[in-house]
Amino acid sequence: MSQPNFYESVSASISKAASLSDIPKGLLSQIKVTNAIYKMSFPVKVGKGYEVITAYRAQHSHHRLPTKGGIRFSPHVHQDEVMALASLMTFKCALVDVPFGGAKGGIRINPKNYTEKELERITRRYTAELIRKNFIGPGIDVPAPDMGTGPREMAWILDTYTSMNHGEIDATACVTGKPVTQYGINGRNEATGRGVYYGLREALSYEDDMKAIGLTPGMEGKTIALQGLGNVGSFAGSICQNEGGAKIVAVAEYEGSIYNPDGIDIDKLLKHRKAKGTIMTFPGVKKLKKNDDALYVDCDILIPAALESVIHKGNANKIKAKMIGEAANGPVTFEGEKILLKKGVMIIPDFFLNAGGVTVSYFEWLKNLSHLRFGRMEKRFDTRAYDKLVDFVLKATGGTISKREREFLTKGADEIDLVRSGLEETMISAYKDIRSMWKRRSKVEDLRTAAFLVSLNKIANDYISMGIFP
Ligand code: GLU
């Protein structure tokens, strides 16, 4: 459950970094403050009666427009939570050079308690409220999926927006994370999880850093404990296992947690949960007593991919992992982090590690604005160029290759190839920026502080170049 102090915890981390920067005080206050928040209550027909729904949209920073961030459906949604999440979006976008301000929305419902029709009515009504107050639009504020929402909800938002903004040529860019068949982009669904993989792989590649925490470099063979099998956790776990060669040894979900030191096949587990509704009947694993027990198992990397504030001062000491990859937003509290840093645990911060979602959202927004699918112009041209190159090499060497080998060597990039390539590049270069800040400045003791400093400097420069601050 989300803690009431989530906002304070995020603010404390920002202040810790800010104290090491030379950004003037006035500008710092402007960067920290939430620029606009809209709280709404509206009635929706549920069952035979009506229910009053409470919802929010917080726009943390207007220094770049549109603002950007997901919409979550969760019973724990409250103002502090959306404000904290919106501010993390500002720092996330700056860090990965996505030219947006941060925002986040939330509707206080448990989506499991509503029918599809009811969820559609709630989503459409929420969108209408945003339109009325000018809180949505391709150049204003662009929502996306978050906890409890996905492509289906984004399609409802798109339809409500376009039907109320007839003739607006860029209307499809009013929301991202849409189904691929409805102006979405290939690779958005897996993007956050895939970004987690690229980010961890990069962090694990530095021999010195790994030596300092008692690990060998590389992801191959690393043991992982994973909390949460939602969109982020399932893709992160599966890609780390299949492309990185990591071994998932423990998994936690609502219904409980399971452990197998020899590895749990994550793809089989996902299929099992889909069919049976639980992970607890998966064959060949040890059932752990409580669902947070998976956090405390012996492993190299712990990936919390569920809720905020799950690792705090009350349980941080029990963590045995040498590295924590924060796939969720805010899974480690400020106080929890102090304990972990003292123990020498390396924490890869959330607003870097889960930035893959908003990065690919940016690609989707660009695709919508350009009205052109990535790869459409160059794919055949590239294929022909590679063909000529292959012919040249074969002629020079006298070699031959099969048709399949030629296809493999000469394939031009499809949209998915370009999206993955852009995401990989984004995660690698952002990590290099954070790491060099961390190594360069002796007072910067951890990666979260380094990441906040990188973002703070970029945001401050934006304000200065706008001429607002001297
Ligand atoms: N909700 C995701 C996040 O927390 C994605 C936001 C987006 O794509 O705009 O980063």
Selection from 98, 5, 82, 1 nearest residue 38 by Cα:
82
Task: Retrieve residue 2's tokens.
Answer: 């989300």
Query: Is residue 104 annotated as part of the catalytic site, yes or no?
Result: yes
What is the value of pTM for the model shown? 0.96
Report the nearest atom of ligand 1 relative to the CA of 147: 1
Report the nearest atom of ligand 1 relative to the CA of 100: 9
Query: Three-state SS for 41?
Result: strand
Using the mean position of ligand 1's atoms as its centre, give its distance from the Cα of residue 219 in Å.
26
Query: Three-state SS for 347?
Result: strand
Using the mean position of ligand 1's atoms as its centre, give its distance from the Cα of residue 443 in Å.
31
Using the mean position of ligand 1's atoms as its centre, give its distance from the Cα of residue 454 in Å.
20
Report the nearest atom of ligand 1 relative to the CA of 92: 10
CATH no. of 185-378+413-470: 3.40.50.720
Using the mean position of ligand 1's atoms as its centre, give its distance from the Cα of residue 259 in Å.
30
Set 68, 92, 104, 247: catalytic member? 104
Contact 94, 455 (CB under 8 A): yes
Q: Checking DSSP bridges between strand 256-259 and strand 141-145, what pairing results, if any?
A: unpaired
Selection from 75, 163, 157, 168 nearest residue 120 by Cα:
157
Determine if the peptide bond prior to 331 is cis (ω within 30°): no
Q: What is the residue-level pLDDT of the chain in tens, covering all 470 positions?
A: 444 489 999 999 999 999 999 999 999 999 999 999 999 999 999 999 999 999 999 999 999 999 999 999 999 999 999 999 999 999 999 999 999 999 999 999 999 999 999 999 999 999 999 999 999 999 999 999 999 999 999 999 999 999 999 999 999 999 999 999 999 999 999 999 999 999 999 999 999 999 999 999 999 999 999 999 999 999 999 999 999 999 999 999 999 999 999 999 999 999 999 999 999 999 999 999 998 999 999 999 999 999 999 999 999 999 999 999 999 999 999 999 999 999 999 999 999 999 999 999 999 999 999 999 999 999 999 999 999 999 999 999 999 999 999 999 999 999 999 999 999 999 999 999 999 999 998 899 999 999 999 999 999 999 999 887 77
Sequence-distant (≥ 6) Cβ neighbours of residue 162 within 8 angstroms: 168, 171, 172, 174
Residue 226 DSSP class: E
Residue 72 DSSP class: E
Substitution candidate for ligand 1 out of 147, 189, 192 with most atoms within 8 A of CB: 192
Q: What is the DSSP string of 391-433?
A: HHHHHHHT----HHHHHHHHPPPPHHHHHHHHHHHHHHHHHHH
Report the nearest atom of ligand 1 relative to the CA of 360: 8
Domain 34-182 is in which class? Answer: alpha beta
Q: Do domains 34-182 and 185-378+413-470 have the same CATH topology?
A: yes
Q: Give ligand 1 pocket residues (Cβ under 6 A).
A: 68-70, 144, 146, 176-177, 329, 354, 357-358, 361
**For the chain, what are the domain ranges?**
34-182, 185-378+413-470
Selection from 228, 223, 268 nearest residue 248 by Cα:
223
